[in-house]
A and B are shown apart, each in its own frame.
Chain A
């Protein structure tokens, strides 16, 4: 065995057994390899997180300015509600109206995808409309959650009702305004988009002001009604989103709108 191994080693070490590389053929082969590499389509499959950052990269400065303005308004609102002698019902209602406005403004980045005939084109891209809508909804949802959490946290100390109760009072108008806005987006496409959204916001804001006119609304006795409204709102919002995604998948309704 050792003898055979030794024999093999000597054969490989013997220079006379080696073929000197043909420089011309080597260059030819390398050129062929380079050409094959150049022709090869290198496919990139970006991760979901990368796609989120990519979407954020293409938001307009107006979008970021609006988000900044909303945050500034939240801080001003918190300062205003924290002043001495502030009426709790009015504070909660004003915060509700604010969250309705903020929610609808955040939703406008999704509405934009369905404007200017972009939906049809976006449906044919590698990252299609469904994925982009998902990302925009996630972005808007996270921002809204932050606003809801922050406002509830700040109001809780003043109202002495607990953070979840505050969250409930803010969540109900927010949820129903989002449902209304998405419903109008899906069903009232013939209406001018700016008019549609403005009317959604105004109607929702008026509804959110309801407790100012009926002050008993925030009494513990009616808390169960608020819970029911929030649960129903959650279910309806999910259904509305599913409905939009279903029609994006089949394309029928979207194309009828586009035609």
Chain B
């Protein structure tokens, strides 16, 4: 069973600490890295892939430092970068065959695998088409196909669903869920729904640190009592919006139905609501405490 261990990993770029003292042990399953843009997710993933070397700390796979494993670690790795790289003049099939060769797959197997992956991501009809003619969604699917070519034990996907339509997104989620058996799947995203249903463990990353981790249920449970729903007049709703992170807002019959995040009851008549992962995101990434101080001043 593969095991990935991050031991007090830190990455510093000149004056900026991108990843700050991260420690985590990962075994088989889907791990969802959730965080705002610039939280340090991509840097962490790049270190996990061996692209970047940690300034301090160590990343080990099955007890061996990944730098020492070198090619043998890359052999069991599948990676989809945020900015997916491709050669525009290559056809999709040729591109996959090229990457399969770079992943040291035997020639015959590479051909079969390329075809298999094209079918898996629904690109078998466009296999001979030049990549430069592909749409954003097709490119993303090709990216997923290349990451799976070598049947990796560690699959790292950085913003994998960017550019995918809802149908493709659901298909992708199901695919990842099916693939997660016997491998470590690490998904980085700021789209909550991408990981809500498939991640075995969610890690909230903020300012380069893991501020919270656990199952989706445990994490949502942690903010119980901080999610509120209320019906207000448009004028009051406007004031509330300026004072609290609002996770949903709906106009109904001259009134506004609000769902908001607050440490305490933000508004007379507001009732506590069942928290969801989107509320968790707002709670941890929208600085609720700062809003709370402001709220006390504003709301009568």
Contacts and interface: CB of A to CB of B under 8 A. Distances in A.
17 contacts: A44-B104, A44-B106, A46-B104, A58-B94, A117-B84, A117-B85, A118-B86, A119-B85, A120-B46, A122-B102, A125-B102, A126-B71, A126-B74, A126-B75, A249-B53, A250-B52, A250-B53
A128 B50 CA distance: 11
Contacts of B53: 249-252
Given A251-B51, A251-B53, A125 B87 contact: no
Given A132-B102, A250-B53, A120 B71 contact: no
Given A125-B74, A126-B102, A255 B52 contact: yes
B75 A128 contact: no
A206 interface: no
Contacts of B77: 124
A124 B154 CA distance: 12
Given A58-B94, A127-B104, A43 B75 contact: yes
Interface string A88-131: 00000000000000000000000010001111111111111000
A121 B84 contact: yes
B9 to A, nearest CB: 14
B21 to A, nearest CB: 19
Nearest to A254: B51
Nearest to A126: B104
A32 interface: no
For the complex of A and B, 6 pairs with smallest distance between CB atoms: A117-B85, A118-B85, A125-B102, A121-B85, A126-B104, A117-B83
B49 A123 contact: yes
Contacts of A118: 85-87
A107 B43 CA distance: 30
A116 B88 contact: yes
A157 B84 CA distance: 53
Interface residues of B, number: 36
A258 interface: yes
B51 A120 contact: yes
Nearest to B97: A58
A256 interface: yes
Given A124-B49, A128-B71, A251-B52, 18 more contacts: A46-B104, A57-B101, A58-B98, A60-B89, A116-B87, A117-B83, A120-B81, A120-B83, A120-B85, A121-B85, A122-B102, A125-B102, A125-B103, A126-B103, A126-B150, A127-B104, A252-B53, A255-B51
Interface in B87-111: 87-90, 94, 97-99, 101-106
A45 interface: yes
B31 interface: no
A54 interface: yes
Nearest to A43: B75
A41 B103 CA distance: 13
Interface core residue of B42, B81, B98 (most chain A CB under 10 Å): B81
B228 interface: no
A123 B50 contact: yes
A13 to B, nearest CB: 47
A121 to B, nearest CB: 4
A146 B89 CA distance: 28
Contacts of B106: 44
Contacts of A132: 102
A256 B42 CA distance: 12
Interface core residue of A62, A116, A250 (most chain B CB under 10 Å): A116
A258 B83 contact: yes
Contacts of B81: 117, 120-121
A58 B104 contact: no
A116 B130 CA distance: 14
Contact of B102 (A116, A127, A249, A252): A127
A258 to B, nearest CB: 6
Nearest to A248: B51
Nearest to B98: A58
Interface in A218-259: 249-252, 254-256, 258-259
B38 to A, nearest CB: 10
Given A124-B74, A124-B79, A126-B74, A252 B103 contact: no
Interface string A146-157: 000000000000
B13 A58 contact: no
A123 to B, nearest CB: 5
Contacts of B84: 117, 121
Nearest to B46: A255
Interface in A132-158: 132
A122 to B, nearest CB: 7
